[in-house]
Structures are given as structure tokens and as C-alpha cells.
Amino acid sequence: MAILLYELVGRDAQRPFSPHCWKVRMALSHKGLDFETVPVPFTEIPTIEGGVTKIVPLIRDGDRLVADSFAIAQYLDEAYPDRPTLFGGPGGVALSRFVESWSQRTIHPVVTSFAVRDIHDFLAPVDQAYFREDRERKLGARLEEVQEGREGRVDGFLKAIAPLRALLERQPFVGGEGPLFADYIVFGAFQWLRVASSFQPLPEGDALSQWFERCLDLYGQAGRKVPAAA
Amino acid sequence: MAILLYELVGRDAQRPFSPHCWKVRMALSHKGLDFETVPVPFTEIPTIEGGVTKIVPLIRDGDRLVADSFAIAQYLDEAYPDRPTLFGGPGGVALSRFVESWSQRTIHPVVTSFAVRDIHDFLAPVDQAYFREDRERKLGARLEEVQEGREGRVDGFLKAIAPLRALLERQPFVGGEGPLFADYIVFGAFQWLRVASSFQPLPEGDALSQWFERCLDLYGQAGRKVPAAA
């Protein structure tokens, strides 16, 4: 039986955009596992699987329910050890946590500042109301104010992600010669921006853009099949 | 026969301080290998082993010479596969390159700005002349100017290393439950500062300081045996 992946969507159920859900989509493809996706708007998360989770991604694999993208990746590697590894050994698990910590603190807040209003507009009206209230409380500012002046933040962002760019100048994937879950951790953040916003800060042709294109091509262009925001 | 480790020293041959040499010191101890150190001041690097290298660390293992800290760690794991692993699998090798890239771009330039004049003072006179000329050319400023106002850069530094601190709040070592080469990559940078300068920016008691103390305790307190700068 196919694994079910509950993943966040906006108005258009065909356009999953959550960075964490993309990590799991890519991880399931990496493992070569059969899966089906269940689109879930923000305000319906509390209703799925009888209310077991406040967050997506959530997967159901037979009678197992697992939430949280990193926990799901670990579950998949343990449950399907004969499939391609997502971590490349225990060192890879530990250091993927560093990539996650870095991505959450270096990429995610900046993507929020680039696109939080665009993400709002991407949602269905009922989810827009939830999203605006929740995010404005957390950010301490109106969504419009957070996103304003984003062009001026591109240079600082490119500088902040220099350690990743330098890595990708020396090896094709974060995981080395081929992708690992660490790639999907970072890919998820850039795919979030690509799907939800037309604002794209990466210069064409640099090592990071080339790596992102390589990731979009993986698994029959799984990432590319969801078009970029117009 | 013991492995020889050529490592950088200042006036005092008992006080190795190079971050990259510390990575290898720790890696050799981690592998449980017998090694002897050969102290080398900056201006004598071109004379060692018949002039094979422009950089230290350099190791001689029998008739093998290997330079560059990461290459040495990879060599040790390949040559001594029955000893404790430095990477925890191929994923760990690839992701340790990210830790290295991040450390070189996030920690090293700031440590330089905290201590470059102190490092100068730590050297023998002949090395001071080389160091000042070389570093002032690369930095485009007098050593004194680079180091000036360092107190004002502590907050920015602590913010920049937040991804590492957050990781160490959830696991005792970068490598997980125990240390891996990725720990020594970052440890080397902080040990460089500890040995060469009395300026210590880490607040006592936070997760990063506690991790650094744990690293100093490893292998019979190998790191602690070289005292902190007074």
C-alpha cells in the first residue's frame, strides 16, 4: 500500500509549497517508495488523521504515523534499509542536523522576508486570515512591512549562503557525488520560494543555482513539475 | 613507528596554536594512533621534509607524506579502517566539507579580527616580520587596525554561530553522541583563539562553551594540556 503524505497547499491543491513537505517528497522519491499525496490547507491540519498532529508533513505508512520532516527521513531509512540511504551513515545523520540548524537560521528567515506577503496571497481566503494573524503576531509586523524592500536584502543573503555556494563549487551535491537528505533540507527552502513567489534572488549560472536546477531534475523532474510562481 | 605531525608554533615550541594542526592532533588521538609532533615556526615550513609543502599540518606515516587537515583525516580513516571512524560513513565525509566551508567563512575571519595582533605577538621575531607583511597584505590593513574594537564584534559573532549553538543544545557533539572530525574542525578554530589570545568571546555556561570544554577534556585532556593564553 502506498505511503500517504499529507502536505501543505494554498488555493491550488496541485501546488505544494511547504519547505518541510518538499523535503519529504524528495526523500520518498529518493527511497524509490510508492506514495500518494493528500493536499491540506493550513486551517485543515487539525482535522487530518483524527487530529494527531499540529504540523505537516505527516506520513501514514500502513499503521504508522510519523510527523516532522527529519523524523520522517530517519523513519524511512530505518524502515527501508535496503533502499538508497538518505544519510550515508550515522555521521550523516548528525551532520544533517547541522545543515537543518543552519538552513532554519540562515535561509528560512530571509525567505520569509522575501515572500511572506506572496505566500499569503497564494493561500485560500480562510487560510489567509489564519496566516496573517499567526505570522504577524510572530513577526511583530504587518506582512507587507516584512516583505518591503526585499531587493535590498539580496546581497546580504548571498553573502550569508556563501558557505553553501563554496561547498557546491567543489562537489555536485551537499551529500557529495549524489544527493542526500541534507540536499533536500536546503532544496525545500528554495523550492518554497520558487513555488510561492516570483521573487528569485539567486543569480543565474552560479554554483548554487546550478545545484538547484540539478535538484529540480531529480526523480523525473519531480520538483520542476510544480511550476514556478508567475 | 609513530606518525610524525609537523605543526605550527610561535616562540614557545610547547604551544601549538594553528587551527588546522589542532584538527589533526585531535584526529590522531581519536584514531588512537601513536604520534610525535615536530614544532615548526612559520618561516621554517619551506624547509621541512625537503620542501614538499607550503602548508602545515603535514604528516609523515612511514613513507607517506600527507598535507592539508581534511586530506589527512581522510587518509587516516582509509589507512586505519579498524580504528574509530572520523566521519561515520560517506555522508559524514560530504557534510564535514560543509562544516569546514561554514567554519572557514563564519568563524575564521572573526577569530582573525579578534586576535591577529595577539597571534603576531605570540610568534618569534623572525616569524613576526613574515606574518605582519603577509597578513597585512591579505587583510589590506595594519594588524592593529584589524583587531581594534573587537569587543564590539562579539554580539555579531555570537549571532553568526547560532546554528552551531542550537545544534549543541540538542546533541552533545557535532558528530552526535560522540565527536567526529566535524567537531575537530570547529574545535580547532576556538582552540586557536584560546591558545593565542586572552580575548575569549564565548559566554560561560552556554551550550557552545560547554561543548568546547567537553572537547578540551577528550583524550586525557589533550587540548587542555596546552594552557590558555594569559
Tell me, rounded to whole angstroms, the distance of Cα B179 from its chain centroid.
Answer: 15
CATH architecture of B90-115+150-221: Up-down Bundle (1.20)
User: Do the Cβ atoms of B90 and A90 come within 8 Å?
Assistant: no
What DSSP assignment string belongs to A164-194?
HHHHHHHSSBTTBSS--HHHHHHHHHHHHHH
Residue A23 above 90 pLDDT? yes
CATH number for A90-221: choose from 1.10.3720.10, 1.20.1050.10, 1.10.10.60, 3.90.1170.20. Answer: 1.20.1050.10
Distance from CA of B103 to the nearest CA of A (A): 8
- pLDDT in the model for residue A218: 98
- Residue B230, pLDDT > 90, answer no
* Rounded alpha-carbon distances, angstroms, from residue B213 to A85, B17, B208, B217: 34, 17, 9, 6
DSSP for residue A38: E
Q: Is the peptide bond prior to A90 cis by the omega test (within 30 degrees of 0)? A: no
| pLDDT score for A48 | 96
**CB–CB contact B98 A163 (8 Å):** yes
- Scanning every residue of chain B, which has its alpha carbon at the shortest distance from the alpha carbon of A182? B95
Q: Does A166 touch chain B (CB under 8 A)?
A: yes
For A166-184, what is the mean pLDDT?
98
The pLDDT assigned to A1 comes to 86
Closest CA to A5 of A38, A33, A41, A34: A38
At B126 the pLDDT is 94
The mean pLDDT of B66-71, rounded to a whole number, is 97
Predicted pLDDT of residue B227:
95
Does pLDDT of B205 surpass 90? no
Q: Does B225 reach chain A within 8 Å, measured CB to CB?
A: no
pLDDT of B132 > 90? The answer is yes
Confidence of residue B154 (pLDDT cuts 50, 70, 90): very high
B46 prior amide bond cis, ω within 30: no
Contact A198, A188 (CB under 8 A): no
pLDDT number for residue A116: 98
Residue B102's nearest CA partner among A161, A208, A178 is A161
Query: For B91, which of A87, A104, A106 is closest by C-beta distance?
Result: A87
Strand partners, A65: A60
B81–chain A Cβ distance below 8 A for any pair: no
| pLDDT reported for residue A208 | 96
Task: Give the one of A95, A163, A176 whose C-beta lies nearest to B106's C-beta.
Answer: A163
Beta-carbon contacts of B213 under 8 Å, excluding residues fewer than 6 positions away, are none
CA–CA gap between residue B185 and residue B31 (Å, rounded) = 15
Percent pLDDT > 70 in chain B is 100
B-chain CB neighbours of A98 within 8 Å are 95, 98-99, 163-164, 167, 174, 182
Q: Give the residue range(s) of CATH 3.40.30.10 domains in chain A.
A: 3-79
pLDDT digits 0-9 by tens, B9-25: 999 999 999 999 999 99
Going by the DSSP 8-state scheme, the letter that residue B219 receives in this structure is H
**CA-CA distance, B99 to B78, in Å (whole number)?**
20
Q: Which residues of B touch A94 (CB under 8 A)?
A: 88, 92, 171, 173-176, 180, 182
| Structure confidence by residue, pLDDT tens digits, B27-41 | 999 999 999 999 999
Task: For CATH 1.20.1050.10, list the domain ranges present in chain B.
Answer: 90-115+150-221
Question: What count of other Cβ atoms lies within 10 Å of the Cβ of residue B216?
Answer: 19
User: Could you give the ipTM of this predicted complex?
Assistant: 0.97
Mean pLDDT (chain B, rounded): 97
Contacts of B175 in chain A (CB under 8 A): 91, 94-95
Query: CA angle A149-B159-A206, nearest 5°?
Result: 55
Q: Assess if CATH 3.40.50.1240 describes domain A3-79.
A: no
Q: At what angle do helices B181-196 and B90-106 cross, to 10 degrees?
A: 30
- Given CB atoms, is A188 within the 8 Å cutoff of chain B? no
- Report CA-CA distances (Å) from B176 to A71, A98, A175, B25, B212: 15, 10, 18, 20, 14
What local confidence, expressed as pLDDT, does residue A141 receive? 98
**Model confidence pLDDT, tens digit, residues A46-64:** 999 999 999 999 999 999 9
How far apart are alpha carbons A194 and A209 in whole angstroms? 12
The rounded Cα B72 to chain-centroid distance in angstroms is: 13
If we measure between CA atoms, which residue out of A218, A123, A113 comes closest to residue A174?
Answer: A218
Residue whose C-alpha cell reads 607550503 in the numeric block: B54
Q: What is the pLDDT of residues B41-50, one digit of tens each?
A: 999 999 999 9
**Alpha carbon of B156: minimum distance to chain A alpha carbons (Å):** 13
| pLDDT for residue A230 | 87
Identify which of A88, A167, A180 has the shortest CB distance to residue B101: A167
| Strand boundaries in B34-167, DSSP class E | 35-40, 58-61, 64-67
CA gap A39, A16 in Å, rounded: 7
List pLDDT tens digits, range A107-155: 999 999 999 999 999 999 999 999 999 999 999 999 999 999 999 999 9
Percent of chain B with pLDDT over 90: 98
B27 neighbors B73 (Cβ within 8 angstroms): yes
Put simply, the answer to whether A92 touches B97 (Cβ < 8 Å) is no
Rounded (5°) CA angle A184-A182-A40: 35
Alpha carbon of A217 to those of A72, A175, A203: distances in Å?
23, 16, 19
Local confidence band at A85 (pLDDT 50, 70, 90 cut-offs): very high
Q: Is A24 on the interface with B (CB under 8 A)?
A: no
Burial state string for A128-144 with b = 16 or more CB within 10 A and e = fewer than 16: beebbeebbeeeeeebe
| Per-residue model confidence (pLDDT) at position B25 | 98
* CATH 1.20.1050.10 placement within chain A: 90-221
- Tell me what the mean pLDDT of segment A190-216 comes to: 96
* Alpha carbons A166 and B97: distance in angstroms, whole number: 10
- Are A65 and A29 in contact by the 8 Å Cβ rule? The answer is no
